[in-house]
Amino acid sequence: MAATSNRSARRAHGEGSIYRRLADGRWVGSIELGSQGGHRRRKVVYGKTEAEVVGKIRQLHFELARGLPPANSRMTVEELLRRWLSDVVAGRVTPSTLRNYRDIAEQHIIPVLGKRRLIALTPADVQSLLRQKQESRLPRRVSTKKGVVEHPATGGYSSRTVKLIRGVLGQALGQAERWGMVARNVVTLTDGPREVPSEGRTLTPKQARALLDAARGERLEGVFVLLLSLGLRTGEVFGLRWADVDFDNGVATVAQVLSRVDSRLVLGPPQTERSWRRINLPRQVASSLRAHRTCQAAERAFLGDAWQDSGLVFTNEAGAPVDPSNFRKIFDRVTKRAGLSGWHPHELRHSCASILLAQGVPLEVVSGVLGHSSIRITADFYSHILDPQREQAAEAMSAALWGE
């Protein structure tokens, strides 16, 4: 046992036992935590000065008074992330979102900060991680007729990816703060990347009509109709049930999504509360769904007992959920037929929003149709579509105030 100072002094109430070690001059303090399993439990803290140890002892008493457990000085960032993902996130989000969070933790945070002790993590550590990701030199892979060719390294991860990294770590540390494992969430003391919204590609009304013409007669023609006219996500379309379609009132309810998790197709709830929504069906969309229901009934009658009654609007030939990879093949064939090679199904969602905004539909209505978590997301992503409306606002004000 290390030698201790023989100087004793009466401690103030709540300061616990504090002494200075003669061997190295460090100050040591401890408080009693009661007994557990017949054994006395103590918490020991260290510091360079007596005042530092007194401060730590008082903080421990404060946390105990609030019902918080003393911080585990040995817990690492990696241990926190794994506990947070399994104990908190797994019960609150969809399987695909949980997988995305785990990928962010495993690929980006744990390799850099995983071994760092939680209580020693600083804002500078987090800021360094974010800077590394922004400045990483990433090889660029391009598909050619001869295969995939790797070009020289380019710039780092996108601002959106870096923002996701910061968000996942921030949520985990926020939970650690609520658990009393850390005194503060250091991520809140860092600056996130400046995210410049990407306008993305959108179909013109003429291109959209050409695509619907090219999809006419396809077994999954209705999928193209819903993606383009309602702005649904692919997983929302393939998770739609007949029970969610109210033909009498012309309304469809987005109540579940189809996603791929660990090579399995899984049906689950929408990702956010705003993603759960009711959408009015244009007359032509309702007609398309009725026609599809008639065709599906014929398929079901033909297969008889072999039909897998999933209750879904769009299924494969046996009644089971549609594999998104199989639909992508159909999508590529149809878009090529329409003279639109190289497009992605998600771009139909962007096209829906752009067409609605260009037609003068209010921003808050478009945000509700898309199921965005906030109207700000809609405004940021589609701000370029709103320019004509801003010009109209300026002209209206000129007319109102100056009669011009």
In this prediction, residue 345 carries a pLDDT of 92
Boundary (domain end) residue, out of 65, 100, 124: 65
Whether 309 and 163 share a structural domain: no
In a domain, 4, yes or no: no
For residues 72 and 36, is the Cβ–Cβ distance under 8 A?
A: no
Same domain, 87 and 125: yes
Please name which of 339, 336, 386, 329 lies closest in space to residue 207, comparing C-alpha atoms: 339
How confident is the model over 189-213, as pLDDT tens digits?
998 887 655 556 788 889 999 999 9
Q: Please say whether the dihedral angle defined by the alpha carbons of residues 389, 390, 396 and 398, taken in this order, is positive or negative.
A: negative
Q: Say how far apart CA 32 and CA 317 lie, in whole Å.
A: 68
What residues does 141 pair with on adjacent strands?
150
Could you give the number of structural domains in the chain?
3
3 state SS of 99: helix
* pLDDT attached to residue 16: 58
**Same domain, yes or no, for 294 and 156?**
no
- Answer yes or no: do 257 and 380 share one domain: yes
Tell me whether residue 1 is in a domain.
no
pLDDT at 7: 45
Residue ranges of the chain whose pLDDT lies below 70 = 1-16, 34-39, 63, 66-73, 137-155, 195-200, 383-398, 400-404
Q: Is residue 304 assigned to a domain?
A: yes
Pair of tokens at residue 390:
């801003």
CB 217 within 8 A of CB 199: no
Q: Are residues 21 and 92 in the same domain?
A: no
The pLDDT score that the predictor gives to residue 160 is 83
Range of the domain at 91: 77-143+150-189
Q: What is the pLDDT of residue 154?
A: 52
- Residues 47 and 156 both lie in one domain: no
Domain membership of residue 335 (yes or no) is yes
**Same domain as 242, residue 102:** no
> Do 287 and 378 sit in the same domain of this protein?
yes
pLDDT attached to residue 58: 83
Contact 208, 353 (CB under 8 A): no
For residue 316, the SS3 value is: coil
Domain at 382, CATH number: 1.10.443.10
Domain with 135 in it: what CATH number?
Answer: 1.10.150.130
Residue 246 shares a structural domain with residue 306: yes
pLDDT of residue 259: 86
CB atoms within 10 A of CB 15: 17
pTM over 0.85: no
pLDDT at position 144 is: 46
Q: Enumerate the H helices of 281-362 as residue ranges.
A: 283-303, 324-337, 346-358
What pLDDT score was predicted for residue 225? 95
Residue for token pair 């919204």: 197
Q: To the nearest 5 percent, what fractions of the chain are helix, strand and coil?
A: 50, 15, 35
Structure tokens at 31: 């408080």
Residues 269 and 178 occupy one common structural domain: no
In this structure, is residue 5 part of a structural domain? no
164, 278, 238, 230: CA torsion to nearest 10? -80
Tell me, yes or no, whether 226 and 314 share the same domain.
yes
Residue 7 lies in a domain: no
Q: Are residues 231 and 90 in the same domain?
A: no
Nearest to 333 by CA among 247, 196, 210, 215: 215
* 401 assigned to some structural domain: no
pLDDT score for 120? 86
Please report whether residue 214 resides in a domain.
yes
| The two structure tokens encoding residue 92 | 């609150």
How is residue 85 written in tokens? 């993902």
| Positive or negative: CA dihedral 170, 172, 176, 177 | positive
